[in-house]
Structure 1
Amino acid sequence: MTIARKIYSSLTARRPSSAHHIGWLGCPTPTGLPVTAMPRLLLSALLLISASTGAADLPKASETCDRTVNQVRWTEVGSPDLGRRPALVSAHRGGVTLAPENTLWAYRHAFAYGMDFVEIDVRESLDGVLYSMHDDAVARTTGGSGNISTMLSSQIDALNAANFEPWIGSEYDPSPVPRLDDILALARDSQRGIEFDIKFVKNYLGFFQKVQDYGLMSRSYFNMSGFTVSLAQLLYPELRVIYNLGDGETAQSLYDETGRSIIYGSAMDKFTPELIAAIHDGCSYVLPHSYDDGHEYEAAEFLRGLAMGADGAQSDQPDVIRAALHAPLAVKLAPGSADAAGSNRVCLSNAENGLGLPGKTLRYGRRDGTDATEARSDRYGCVSLPGAVQDYWARFTGDATAVAAQYNAPEAPTPPTATTPAITEGGSLPLLASLLYLLIAALRRRTLP
């Protein structure tokens, strides 16, 4: 526990009191100022001072690196940097083409495709429950009315986050608005991280502690600025921040910001190889958007960023980026799955985390050789077979995103040895080669003067 956190714990220890209505850091609501809030207000004042005077003294959010600063390259880079490999990828709202944005299904599919992070938009309900939704107004994605910040969690839980095109009537309809706890558990179990875009949170310290409790602080980063950054990094030195480029930043100003920002994001066109070199000199990473020019150009934009020296990207399409990486996933094809069990289901999943891959063509047939056909995997990565799974074989032939896999497939017949010469140590071909070598050597000796 850091010294700052110990101070905070001692100041905010529970004391007997009938007072309530304590807001963020104990700041009073309009109903009055409870006595127990005073120590917290003192701490708030202390942290406010540190926010305005001590930001430069915060420990670096980035890992230690051996980079030598070369300011000449900040104006004329020469050859662009080679960014981090393998590239880091954050799935924007979980990815918006595989499942409804900012739903648990979108996050599952992003992790199934091996994305390093999912980008989520954090909002707090009227009664203090944290959710992921981009807009404060719920109408666009749920068809409901009202704002997250003025709704009770019971009202939000009743909404359908797949109530918009093209998802109406799909297998994802209905989908709940995901609670933060469910997303944190998914990321923890998948051994991946989260990019937190904090839209509206009242209890920041409770939020940060929740992320810490799930073991995700060191694997995640946060989109926030100003006072909250200084407060958070004082209490949690391992907390990492993303800096989104605006207009007019210089290489020097971006380098100076690396003292507290681990990731640099924004539109691809805001970056140049020179700016990226300055950011790398500060041991931070560059993950620009790859989706701003449209989904049809996303793979090309992703590769353009890598060519400039970027370390990865924030993407709308995890499957497209997986293909662009030329690194197909290791997968497995097996009966059922943890959340889609059934005696006649076979499922294609990420071999590392077990999450199913949707929309994949699986070919299957009876082991006696009849009824061969194919079907596309559902949201669990599964297809339903006509009978008991042990009576069937199944194959996935592989594609640009995942390697081939098979289940219960009959063994191919062994070719007759009489028509297939062995090419092994001690076989006939090595013997013939040796005899030919000796013959050529003898002829050369006879012809030499």
Structure 2
Amino acid sequence: MYVRPSRRSLSLAAATALLGLALTLAGATASLARSSSGPAAGTPARPGLPGAPGAPGALPARLGAPTVFAHRGASAYAPENTLAAVDHADGLGIEWVENDVQRTRDGELVVVHDETLARTTDAEQVFPDRSPWRVADFTAAEIARLDAGSWFGAGFAGARVPTLREYLDRLELNGQRLLLEIKLPALYPGIEQDTVRVLEEAGWLDRRHVTRRLVVQSFAADSIRTVHALRPDLTTAFLGTPAVAELPAYAAFTDRINPWYGGISAEWVAAVHDLTGPHGRRLEVDAWTVDNADVAVRMADLGVDGIITNRPDRIRDAVTGR
């Protein structure tokens, strides 16, 4: 038999339901506030990286794990410094890509690591009389004829040496970020100005790119000083391991000190972190080139802010505990 509930019972049930809804909404609001405000208390912050907590246009923190940079693209899986390597890194979910920039005989900036084209292209076969096949001795049109993929594997036959503009356009399409290395600047007087010009033409010097998506580095301190003078808003990095006593001089023009992983200690990393760079942020450290998971974990334990690697998926998984 159906018994109609009393008005008092209905009121009590309604009140209980409203109380439950209020508690649920309160919990959801608190959870949203925690996720919006960044990591929990005690999580180490990495404020200097563009897009990191404390930087303009800050991105969500990644629980203190070092940022992973795909060295010359995902170069363990695709021919280095090609668009295929960029795309492979993107397929792995890697946002930051590192590359190398040099200049052709006719002034085009191209993405290639070695001073010569012999190792990573078929230049010796296409131009047998042009030894030693230096990048600077070829025009952009000549380099565009070269196969930059077959040396790595038949599946990459026909890959080309990209121009910097082509490379930037692909990164933009993929939504990736760039650690750009000016390679061998002593061979290319004025390459810093050329690099800034191409970045400007490609739309990479607006505030969004400068604060979130771009770092310019070099082994040559003078080259980084020049970039800083040309565009003081750019984040820059010096490749090397200066002595602790020398570090304050670098803090005047660079935001990051990027050393070979085998030459650093926790004390050295701490000494870098103790300094403030030209943008008023703590200097940071990106170690290169780390392909071993155990070494990557050790670098994270030393406190490095980033790791540059040919195997970005393996290193990401190691330092994030996946």
Q: Quickly name the TM-score band, shorter chain normalised.
A: 0.5 to 0.7
The AA in structure 1 aligned to 2:231 is Y
Unmatched tracts of structure 2, length 5 or more:
1-47, 55-61, 125-132, 276-281
Once residues 317 and 144 of structure 2 are traced to their aligned partners in structure 1, the CA distance between those partners, rounded to angstroms, is: 35
Which residue in 1 is equivalent to 2:134?
A: 147
Q: How does 1:118-157 map to 2 (within 5 A)?
A: 118-145=97-124, 146-157=133-144
Amino acid paired to 1:208? V
Offset at residue 203 of structure 1 (A): 4.3
SS at match of 2:123: coil
1:236 paired residue number? 231
Among residues 249, 252, 258, which one is paired with 1:259 in the alignment? 252
Residue 20 of structure 2 corresponds to which residue in structure 1? none
Q: Which structure exhibits the higher relative contact order, with contacts defined as CA atoms closer than 8 Å and separated by 6 or more residues? A: 2
Residue 289 (structure 1) aligns with = 288
User: Which of 198, 207, 210 is equivalent to 2:198?
Assistant: 210
**Structure 1 segment 289-328 matched on structure 2, within 5 A:** 289-291=288-290, 295=291, 298-326=292-320
Structure 1 counterpart of 2:12 = none
- Contact 2:237 / 2:258 at 8 angstroms: preserved in 1? yes
Q: Deviations over 1:21-61 (max 9, x none)?
A: xxxxxxxxxxxxxxxxxxxxxxxxxxxxxxxxxxxxxxxx9
Q: Secondary structure at the match of 2:223?
A: helix
Q: Could you tell me which residue of structure 2 aligns to residue 192 of structure 1?
A: 176
Paired amino acid for 1:305: M
How many residues are matched? Answer: 242
Letter in structure 1 aligned against 2:98:
E
- Report the Cα offset of residue 265 of structure 1: 1.5
The structure with the largest helix share of the pair is 2
Q: Give the TM-score normalised by structure 1.
A: 0.49
- Higher mean alpha-carbon deviation, 117-126 vs 257-266, is at 257-266
Asked if the contact 1:290/1:299 (under 8 Å) is kept, the reply is no
| Distance apart, 1:237 and its partner CA | 0.9
Please state how far the C-alpha of 1:179 moved relative to its aligned partner: 1.2
Change (3 A) 1:136 1:183: same
1:105-129 CA-partner distances (Å, limit 9, x unpaired): 1112223323342111111111111
Q: CA deviation at 1:136?
A: 2.2
- Distance (Å, rounded) in 1 between the aligned partners of 2:317 and 2:49: 29
Structure 1 letter corresponding to 2:194: G
Residue 226 of structure 1: how far off its partner (Å): 4.1
Give unpaired runs (5+ residues) of structure 1.
1-60, 67-82, 328-399, 401-449
SS at match of 2:179: strand
1:234-287 C-alpha deviation (Å, 9 max, x unpaired): 23111222122346x02x432442332222222212211111112222202211
In the TM superposition, 1:5-24 aligns within 5 A as none
Q: Give the C-alpha shift of residue 326 in structure 1.
A: 3.9
Contact 2:94 2:312 in 1 (8 A): yes
Amino acid of the structure 2 residue aligned with 1:198: I
Contact 2:65 2:300 in 1 (8 A): no
- Cα deviation digits, residues 172-219 of structure 1 (max 9, x gap): 212011111111112223333212221254443232132134224432
Whether contact under 8 Å (1:62, 1:261) holds in the other structure is no
**1:90–1:96: structure 2 CA closer, same or farther, 3 Å change rule?**
same
The letter for the 2-side match of 1:174 is: G
Q: Which amino acid aligns with 1:94?
A: G
Aligned partner of 1:110 in structure 2 is: 89
Change (3 A) 1:234 1:127: same
1:114-155 deviations in whole A, cap 9, x for unaligned? 334211111111111111111121111112132211111111
TM value normalised by structure 2: 0.67
% identity of equivalent residues: 24
Q: Report the 3-state secondary structure (helix = DSSP H, G, I; strand = E; otherwise coil) of the residue aligned with 1:228.
A: helix
Are 2:81 and 2:111, in contact at CA under 8 Å, matched by a contact in 1?
yes
**Does the C-alpha gap of structure 1 residues 203 and 277 become closer, same or farther in structure 2, counting only changes over 3 Å?**
closer
